A and B are shown apart, each in its own frame.
Chain A
Amino acid sequence: MTAVPPFQSAPKKASIFSPELMQNAVRASFSKLSPRDQARNPVMFVVYVGTILTAYLTVANLVTGKPWGYELAVTLLLLLTVLFANFAEGLAEARGKAQAASLRSAREDVKARRLVDGCEEIVAGTQLKRDDLVVVEAGEMIPADGEIVEGLASVDESAITGESAPVIREAGTDHSGVTGGTKVLSDRIVIKITSGAGESFLDRMIALVEGASRQKTPNEIALSILLSGLTLIFLLAVVTLYPFTVYAGAPASAVTLIALLVCLIPTTIGGLLPAIGIAGMDRALQANIIAKSGKAVEVAGDVDVLLLDKTGTITIGNRLATKFYPLPGVTEQALAHAALLSSLADPTPEGKSIVALARQGGVDAPEPEGAVFVEFTAQTRMSGVDFGTTSIRKGAGSRIAALAQERGGSVIPELALITDEVSRGGATPLTVIQNDRILGVVALSDIIKPGIRERFAELHRMGLKTVMITGDNPLTAEAIAKEAGVDSFLAEATPEDKMEMIKQEQQAGKLVAMMGDGTNDAPALAQADVGLAMNSGTQAAKEAGNMVDLDSDPTKLLEVVEIGKGLLITRGALTTFSIANDVAKYFAILPALFVTAYPQLSVLNVMKLHSPTSAVLSAVIFNALIIPVLIPLALRGVPYKPMSAAALLSRNLLVYGLGGLIVPFVAIKVLDLLITPLMS
């Protein structure tokens, strides 16, 4: 597991408007003009058809010798509106592709040593198929995503994660997954390819970003229906307006009516909607998260319950020795000395921390002659050292008590009191025995990550429930949960417990997010609404989850929720802005439209726009320009600040609702002042 500082995304921010991306986006603006592409977006399709109609009217006027300047201007502005919307989508796509390509570039042109009937053959990495076996040795690139079936190696995954420290990947463990494009630093491994060329998660995500195969997410579909409904209503309002103006004695020009329609229908959100969706995926990718569907990102915003692994998320990975608790009749020095001796050859961080704590207390000793270090195993559940006639062991209380009895010693009741006290304090008691005498207990404490308490308080205010998952006993778990400020905890958790908990929460109507890596996590990952699999995890886990975190960083779950919320907020904010804009547009166009029939209606020209023509053109220019102006916001997303829904609503309503009312009044007035001299 890599040590990423708590709660910071990988610092990989591509500039939104790099020249290369712009070029691609401009090309896309035009290539997306085909009717089939346009028909995917009902709101913009109306603008598209409107453009064709005004173009026809312009040509018709040109041929019949009538004035055509105004008609041409409207046509060009409508075309520009369509192009801007295409550009927004193109830019979002280009960014996603660029992001994915930079992740993928590493694996291009890699030669692979494929095993066929036990013999190696050299093939291009792109020719590999699923279930092929390949050999990778120290210094070689891993040609494609796969799972180690034989051996163990340290792997440099910096190309993907940006983290320089190598990680250990081993067959048959929960850390057997390897990614194409990463480099083996030591040893030799045999990898079973899990995804052929073009099928990796990355490839799938690129396909999700690309227009053709992009599936609309459920909320995007619902919003599209709402926008289409509004479009239909305004279409009705504008179409009926023609007979109304005929009745009034001054038929409105078709071009002005089309201009009015385009201004009223929600083109701003309609034009930016696809870009917002794609940008959500882009932002996930920037955080080194591969989402398998757009829906997964959207659902992340709705998550109610977060199942967080204690280790790595809430506490830093390792427990450290913090205090010695000698039993009555034993000095602290004696206990420290024994613990020190048993740990001198212990390579684990816990062992090292015991040595450090003993030395801090002034106890030190060299490694005894002929010392034999006894490693910790899952069966013995203890470690220690033997030298001469001395045998020191440290381990779980129950195990050591059993050992003491085997060796003919006794267990005094105080031991249980001490271990309970240590547990209640949130630490893990490690009991130390020398020959047949139990000396005391070393407290191994979890170190809560700095800033995590505040972070959980924020989540709580956002209405998210946090659940700490840990293998610790309930006493320790409770203490840590309290200290970190999580809402609940699941102690001595087995994968089955996790699954049960997810089902329970879902039964109550809640959406659950979890992170996992092991094969036994797979069912829970599949059951969770957001299942974030670590890239270092097994293939089964990665297949089961709906997102993969390339950094294998347990804190990513929080980031995923924020990305999901940011996506939804951006959609809502721009919808509100778009709808609020209509008020000003009405006040610009209606007087212009009706003033011939009823000159008195010029009173409604509150912005004092220069002429009917300049009023209509200013409104249409505003309507077109607001799309590119808002592209950065659509792509970066409305910044999400953790706060309660009520506070978020009032803040965003003020900015995007009130702003949406006022901005167009000012902007249309300014545009009118600017274009008036040009028209005369």
Chain B
Amino acid sequence: MSAAFLQFALLLAIMTALVVPVGNWLYTVFAGERHTAPERLTYALIGINADERMGWQRYGLVMVMSNLVMLLLAYLLIRLQGLLPWNPAGLSSQSPDLAWNTVVSFLTNTNWQAYSGEQSLSYFSQMAVITTFMFTSAATGFAGAAAFMRGLAGKNGADLGNFWVDFTRIIYRVFLPICFVLALVFVWQGMPQTLNPYATATTLEGATQTIALGPVASLESIKHIGTNGGGFFSMNAAHPFENPTPLTNALHILSMLLLPSSLTYAFGRLISNTRQGWVIFGGMLVMFVGFLLTLYSFEQAGNPILSKLGAEQTISATQAGGNMEGKEVRFGIAQTALFATTTTAATTGSVDSMHDSYTGMGGFVPMLQMMLNNVFGGKGVGFINFVQYLILSVFIAGLMVGRTPEFLGKKIEAREIKLVMLAVLAHPLSILGFTALAVALPEPLKSLNNSGPHGFSEILYAYTSGTANNGSAFAGLSANTPFYNLTIGLAMLVGRYLTLLPMLAVAGLLASKRRVPLSSGTLPTDTLLFGALSVFIILIVGALTFLPALTLGPVADHLQMVYP
């Protein structure tokens, strides 16, 4: 037990220690005036005016239009892959609904995989669509966050930055350097990085086994730095080549948290109030630790059904104990719990265990974290989501100090609240709406492999994962049907753009407002008390909405195990 807590503490301490240096680095990326030579060359090649200043409308429009173009192009590539080169296996095109789902999934950084890669995507499609999107979708999210932060910090609503510059800088200055170093470390730890064909081995029994290889290390690094989550192998991070050692497991976890946690500090720098950044970081960390301990304790407690049958599930020197179904023995409960909490907090979606096999309440945690999508959160969107609740908290609490609400010196008025509520509405609308549709129709229910609360959890998890742009699957649901492909695709779009765009508008509107000077009569938002309040509001407004659905899914699931 204490070894588990030591691991948690150590990992979170390293993450916290990295917040300041990485945050400073992100700050210079977001705020720096100078363009590097490769960047200038890129702008010149694509024909972009890097000095254009964009307001929120323009920034949002460029972001959506660039994404739309990528969506259409990628859709065409995948549909026409039969006619395109680098298709040695002669794979035909994906069906229209599957192609739609695949393209949207990677465009939105969800990496939900309704297809099986080796059976339906050519090398060309893998490279031109999947790998490219791993960079661009993450860069799009971070660019959105950068513009959002500038809006909150700025004095000028007509200048939230330049989408192309943000997009390019994040890839050149953040993703590529980190990924390069990380890939080398991964190779050192034993991850394959090769373009050679699959290896053939003779087993001890004398049978011949084909071992899949490939450029794994390079993909693994961007997979987690960009909180993408789509794995090289279908086993994802549970596969020994994707995650060979405890060190790589820890590095995976750290790389998922690296940028989302450091964004809080970069934000503090941008608004010249690092305390505010730390309060946001603290709020996220408190929720993270709470969720981690919940998940860990339920999984370590073991499966109640087995307990009743007298199975030994306590942790000891000779066994990991707890509910080990669907988990790697080499990681044990603690590393698995940490990975699962991280991948759903940072909405990455990679897995090193099967979430479907968790106890009911163990499965509750990943779902709730994705529903909130602001416990660190992925690709900048998590940060935006947190601030969305911060604004909500300011509005409610601000009144209690006898002033009309203001956040970072800007008045929060009807227009901002309207947009914030629209963004808050996006998650329940998509998650609950599509889940209700799926369980109400006869056809989607045929995809279920389980009935009762567990089956319900499978559907709920799928739409939650899609909406939160997470991409992990609860398994047990055959999701490659036209209905699921279409609706989960829509959920992914709602989850990404219906949060990003309204909040970008809020930032733009706030930037245009006159700054109200601070006084001791102003509600302080950079205090412990306010951080606690915003966590409280997140749990009451964000989580309570989903409580009925969670009760019918994981909670009932768990209680049925305890009281059969």
On A, residues with C-beta under 8 Å from B are 218-219, 221-223, 225-226, 228-230, 232-234, 236-248, 264, 298, 301-302, 304, 460-465, 508-510, 564-566, 568-569, 571-573, 575-576, 579-580, 582-583, 586, 590, 593-594, 597-598, 600-601, 603-604, 640, 644-646, 648-650, 652-653, 656-657
Rounded to whole angstroms, the CA-CA distance of A598 and B412 in the bound complex is 44
Check A218–B413 contact: CB distance below 8 A.
yes
- 11 pairs, A vs B, C-beta closer than 8 Å: A218-B414, A229-B422, A234-B545, A246-B440, A248-B456, A462-B520, A575-B396, A590-B547, A598-B552, A600-B562, A604-B551
Asked if B1 is at the interface of the complex by the 8 Å CB criterion, the answer is no
Q: Contact check: which of A229, A247, A586, A603 meets B439 at CB < 8 Å?
A: A247
Check B517–A510 contact: CB distance below 8 A.
yes
Check B399–A601 contact: CB distance below 8 A.
no
Check B436–A582 contact: CB distance below 8 A.
no
Q: Contact check: which of A568, A572, A601, A656 meets B556 at CB < 8 Å?
A: A601
Query: What A residues does B533 contact at CB under 8 A?
Result: 649, 653, 657
Knowing A298-B404, A572-B397, A649-B397, the reply to whether A240 touches B556 (Cβ < 8 A) is: no
Check A243–B540 contact: CB distance below 8 A.
no
Q: Contact check: which of B521, B540, B555 meets A464 at CB < 8 Å?
A: B521
Rounded to whole angstroms, the CA-CA distance of A248 and B409 in the bound complex is 49
Query: What B residues does A656 contact at CB under 8 A?
Result: 400
Tell me how far the C-beta of A188 lies from the nearest C-beta in chain B, rounded to whole angstroms: 48
Check B520–A226 contact: CB distance below 8 A.
no
Rounded to whole angstroms, the CA-CA distance of A230 and B544 in the bound complex is 11
9-residue interface stretch from B207-215, B279-287, B426-434 = B426-434
Check A247–B433 contact: CB distance below 8 A.
no
For the A-B complex with A601-B551, A604-B551 known, give 7 more contacts whose Cβ atoms are closer than 8 Å: A219-B404, A229-B422, A593-B548, A645-B522, A646-B529, A656-B400, A657-B536
Q: Contact check: which of B395, B436, B555 meets A222 at CB < 8 Å?
A: B395
Check A649–B424 contact: CB distance below 8 A.
no
Residue of B nearest to A226 (CB): B417
Q: Contact check: which of A218, A236, A571 meets B433 at CB < 8 Å?
A: A236
Asked if B453 is at the interface of the complex by the 8 Å CB criterion, the answer is yes
Which of A234, A580, A646 gathers the greatest number of chain B CB atoms within 10 Å? A646
Check B520–A232 contact: CB distance below 8 A.
no
Check B435–A245 contact: CB distance below 8 A.
no
Residue of B nearest to A644 (CB): B520
Asked if B425 is at the interface of the complex by the 8 Å CB criterion, the answer is yes
Find residues 378-418 in chain B having any chain A CB closer than 8 Å to their own CB.
392, 395-405, 409, 412-414, 416-418
Check B400–A576 contact: CB distance below 8 A.
yes
Knowing A218-B413, A576-B396, A586-B544, the reply to whether A240 touches B401 (Cβ < 8 A) is: no
Check A646–B527 contact: CB distance below 8 A.
yes
- Grouping DSSP codes into helix (H, G, I), strand (E, B) and loop, the A interface class, with mixed when no group exceeds half, is helix
Check A598–B439 contact: CB distance below 8 A.
no
Q: Mark B77-91, 1 if CB is under 8 A from A, else 0.
A: 000000000000000
Q: Contact check: which of B416, B418, B545, B548 meets A590 at CB < 8 Å?
A: B548
Query: What B residues does A221 contact at CB under 8 A?
Result: 414
Tell me how far the C-beta of B545 lies from the nearest C-beta in chain A, rounded to whole angstroms: 5
Rounded to whole angstroms, the CA-CA distance of A464 and B401 in the bound complex is 13
Q: Contact check: which of B403, B413, B414, B559 meets A603 at CB < 8 Å?
A: B559
Q: Contact check: which of A509, A646, A653 meets B524 at CB < 8 Å?
A: A646
Rounded to whole angstroms, the CA-CA distance of A599 and B181 in the bound complex is 54
Knowing A225-B418, A583-B540, the reply to whether A244 touches B520 (Cβ < 8 A) is: no
Q: Contact check: which of A240, A248, A653 meets B397 at CB < 8 Å?
A: A653
Check A226–B401 contact: CB distance below 8 A.
no
Tell me how far the C-beta of B352 lies from the nearest C-beta in chain A, rounded to whole angstroms: 31
Q: Contact check: which of A568, A601, A657 meets B402 at CB < 8 Å?
A: A568
Tell me how far the C-beta of B378 lies from the nearest C-beta in chain A, rounded to whole angstroms: 23
Check B549–A244 contact: CB distance below 8 A.
yes
Knowing A225-B421, A229-B421, A644-B521, the reply to whether A586 touches B547 (Cβ < 8 A) is: yes
Tell me how far the C-beta of A604 lies from the nearest C-beta in chain B, rounded to whole angstroms: 7
Knowing A579-B396, A600-B556, the reply to whether A229 touches B425 (Cβ < 8 A) is: yes
Q: Contact check: which of A298, A565, A583 meets B544 at CB < 8 Å?
A: A583
Query: What A residues does B429 contact at CB under 8 A?
Result: 236
Q: Contact check: which of B453, B517, B545 meets A237 at CB < 8 Å?
A: B545
Asked if B523 is at the interface of the complex by the 8 Å CB criterion, the answer is yes
Check A247–B456 contact: CB distance below 8 A.
yes
Knowing A247-B456, A248-B456, A645-B523, the reply to whether A226 touches B395 (Cβ < 8 A) is: yes
The 9 closest A-B pairs by CB, nearest first: A463-B521, A572-B399, A229-B421, A565-B402, A463-B519, A572-B400, A600-B559, A240-B436, A463-B520
Tell me how far the C-beta of B328 lies from the nearest C-beta in chain A, rounded to whole angstroms: 31
Q: Contact check: which of A229, A598, A653 meets B560 at CB < 8 Å?
A: A598
Query: What A residues does B432 contact at CB under 8 A?
Result: 236-237, 240
Query: What A residues does B546 contact at CB under 8 A?
Result: 237
Check A575–B536 contact: CB distance below 8 A.
no
Residue of A nearest to B546 (CB): A237
Residue of A nearest to B434 (CB): A240
Asked if B6 is at the interface of the complex by the 8 Å CB criterion, the answer is no
Query: What A residues does B409 contact at CB under 8 A?
Result: 509
Check A240–B549 contact: CB distance below 8 A.
yes
Check A648–B549 contact: CB distance below 8 A.
no
Query: What A residues does B188 contact at CB under 8 A?
Result: none
Query: What A residues does B413 contact at CB under 8 A?
Result: 218-219, 222
Query: What A residues does B201 contact at CB under 8 A?
Result: none
Tell me how far the C-beta of B195 lies from the nearest C-beta in chain A, rounded to whole angstroms: 48
Check A302–B547 contact: CB distance below 8 A.
no
Check A232–B425 contact: CB distance below 8 A.
yes
Check A248–B516 contact: CB distance below 8 A.
no
Query: What A residues does B422 contact at CB under 8 A?
Result: 229
Check A240–B552 contact: CB distance below 8 A.
no
Tell me how far the C-beta of B418 lies from the nearest C-beta in chain A, rounded to whole angstroms: 5
Query: What B residues does A229 contact at CB under 8 A?
Result: 417-418, 421-422, 424-425
Query: What B residues does A237 contact at CB under 8 A?
Result: 428, 432, 545-546, 548-549
Knowing A243-B436, A244-B552, the reply to whether A582 touches B402 (Cβ < 8 A) is: no
Check A576–B520 contact: CB distance below 8 A.
no
Query: What A residues does B560 contact at CB under 8 A?
Result: 598, 600
Query: What A residues does B439 contact at CB under 8 A?
Result: 243-244, 246-247
Tell me how far the C-beta of B536 lies from the nearest C-beta in chain A, rounded to whole angstroms: 7
Check A244–B548 contact: CB distance below 8 A.
yes
Tell me how far the C-beta of A293 lies from the nearest C-beta in chain B, rounded to whole angstroms: 15
Tell me how far the C-beta of A636 lies from the nearest C-beta in chain B, rounded to whole angstroms: 15
Asked if B515 is at the interface of the complex by the 8 Å CB criterion, the answer is yes
Q: Contact check: which of B397, B403, B519 meets A565 at CB < 8 Å?
A: B403
Check A601–B559 contact: CB distance below 8 A.
yes
Rounded to whole angstroms, the CA-CA distance of A653 and B534 in the bound complex is 12
Which of B396, B402, B428, B520 gathers the greatest number of chain A CB atoms within 10 Å? B402
Asked if B514 is at the interface of the complex by the 8 Å CB criterion, the answer is yes
Query: What B residues does A583 contact at CB under 8 A?
Result: 540, 544
Query: What A residues does B76 contact at CB under 8 A?
Result: none
Residue of B nearest to A236 (CB): B428
Tell me how far the C-beta of A304 lies from the nearest C-beta in chain B, rounded to whole angstroms: 6
Tell me how far the C-beta of B350 lies from the nearest C-beta in chain A, rounded to whole angstroms: 29
Rounded to whole angstroms, the CA-CA distance of A232 and B402 in the bound complex is 27
Residue of A nearest to B437 (CB): A243
Rounded to whole angstroms, the CA-CA distance of A245 and B435 in the bound complex is 12
Query: What B residues does A236 contact at CB under 8 A?
Result: 425, 428-429, 432-433, 545
Tell me how far the C-beta of A303 lies from the nearest C-beta in chain B, rounded to whole angstroms: 9
Check B559–A598 contact: CB distance below 8 A.
yes
Tell me how far the C-beta of A279 lies from the nearest C-beta in chain B, rounded to whole angstroms: 15
Check B414–A222 contact: CB distance below 8 A.
yes
Query: What B residues does A240 contact at CB under 8 A?
Result: 432-433, 435-436, 549
Check B396–A304 contact: CB distance below 8 A.
no
Tell me how far the C-beta of A296 lies from the nearest C-beta in chain B, rounded to whole angstroms: 13
Rounded to whole angstroms, the CA-CA distance of A239 and B432 in the bound complex is 9
Query: What A residues does B522 contact at CB under 8 A?
Result: 463, 645
Check A649–B401 contact: CB distance below 8 A.
yes
Query: What A residues does B523 contact at CB under 8 A?
Result: 645, 649
Knowing A509-B514, A579-B396, A600-B563, the reply to whether A645 touches B524 (Cβ < 8 A) is: yes
